[in-house]
Amino acid sequence: MLVSDIKSRPVYQGLRFDPKARRHLVAADDEGAIAVEALAGEGGDTFARNATVLYTGRDDGRARIEALKTDAVYVTPTVPTLLTRLDVILAAAGMTDRLYVAGDEGFIGQVVALGMRHGIDHVSIRTEHRGSLQRRVQCVHCKGITEGVTTSIATCAHCGLHLIVRDHYSRRLAAFMGVCADAEEPGVLPPVEEIFK
């Protein structure tokens, strides 16, 4: 489990099976598939019969997911196409259905934000962090999102400013805050370190 002292960062409690839920809606990317495997192990047949799994990512994860023989599986080519499909599924979902998500932080954040747009309380969504510690970063200046940031200083993919990644996370935006790194002395940047691997 990801242990962090960043107060605004969500706590990812792990994918505990909810035996009371009628349907299990599960989203996973890459290594998230390992968490889904464990969830399926905990939920047994009840889970398999009532689970809809959406997956995007590497083939090894895909094989793990397909081996679970759940009621429905959708493998999508990208995160946005996964979210498009989940959006429609959630529009028809009810209070007795449970949403689970496992994967890297940016992926979890986007699925949780989508669930919230359908009226789900974020606390009701079961989450597990798996895989890279790379961050989704919002540039506070131009508001653009830069995906997959692994370094303490990153270049904004939209406006090109050098951003220092603050330890402050927004659930609404599913992103950490990026703030201009050389505002006080333009051109003078602290050393770049790879810290979010």
Q: Which residues bind another protein (CB under 8 A)?
A: 6-9, 18, 20-22, 90, 93-98, 118-121, 123-124, 138, 140-141, 143, 161, 166-173, 177, 179-180, 183-186
Rounded to an integer, what distance in angstroms lies between the CA atom of residue 39 and that of residue 28?
Answer: 12
**Nearer to another protein (CB atom), residue 10 or residue 57:** 10
Distance of alpha carbon 33 from the chain centroid: 13
Q: Closer to another protein by CB, 18 or 66: give it.
A: 18
If you search the block for the tokens 């399926």, which residue do you land on?
40
Q: How far is the CB of 76 from another protein (least distance, A)?
A: 21
Phi and psi at residue 118, in whole multiples of 5°? Answer: -95, 10
Q: Of 33 and 90, which CB lies nearer to another protein in the complex structure?
A: 90
What is the rounded distance in angstroms from the CA atom of residue 159 to the CA atom of residue 140?
Answer: 11
Residue number with CB closer to another protein (33 or 39)? 39
Q: How far is the CB of 37 from another protein (least distance, A)?
A: 23
Tokens of 142: 């131009």
Structure tokens, 120: 């789900």
Minimum CB separation of residue 78 from another protein in Å reads 25
Q: Quick one: 50 or 70, whose CB is closer to another protein?
A: 50
Given a contact cutoff of 8 angstroms between Cβ atoms, the answer to whether 50 and 22 are in contact is yes
Measured distance CA(77)–CA(50) in Å, rounded: 24
- Specify the DSSP element, H or E, that contains 71: none
Minimal distance, residue 192 CB to another protein, in Å? 18
Question: Measured from the CB of residue 93, what is the shortest distance to another protein in angstroms?
Answer: 5
